[in-house]
Structure 1
Amino acid sequence: MEISLEFSGGAELLFDNNKKHDVILPDQKEKWNIKNLLVWMKDNMLRERPELFLQGETVRPGILVLVNDADWELVGELEYEIQSKDRIVFISTLHGG
């Protein structure tokens, strides 16, 4: 399944400093949701300091997640069933000073 992942607000620094990644998720028995996408991202994409992106099984507070331009809270958060061609955006609102 092909999806687009985008990062901004500094989150891209944890993913090879690339803001956009077109990825193909491997086939699996269970349907893809954001919860198992985050595990896949940690294992396959996250290059450094996972603690700045993940906290437990979800994203850290301060990281906004949009699914097709809608707040993930409106579509089911971790349980949202990912569809082919979805665009998932992670925006860090945390800034050092």
Structure 2
Amino acid sequence: MGTVLFAVAAVALTALSLHGLLVRPRLTADPRGLRIRTTTGKHDLHWPEVTARVRTTRRLGRDSATLEIEAGDQLYVFGWLELGADPRDVLDTLTALKP
């Protein structure tokens, strides 16, 4: 039983590691717009179609901030782990880049 549990945990950890390697960087920005990478591919968004905001929620006694990027009917949500920085700082950078 312990061997099976260990094998399942090893496969799950390997899958998560591969996902993290293949989909990075998740978000890149330049003066033309944003590029978002997901498991389904790359999405190029131009600034006029993008709305970005930081949403703060309280969970398990802690405040957690996420960056929400809305484009049309799509909503992309990024946490600190995906961004590698505080979502508030990333929003400030995106605001400075947006024409």
Larger Cα Rg: Structure 1 or Structure 2? 2
Q: TM-score, normalised by structure 2?
A: 0.29
Q: Which has the higher strand share?
A: 2
Q: Which has the higher contact order (CA 8 A, sep 6+)?
A: 1
Q: TM-score, normalised by structure 1?
A: 0.29
Q: Which has the higher helix share?
A: 2
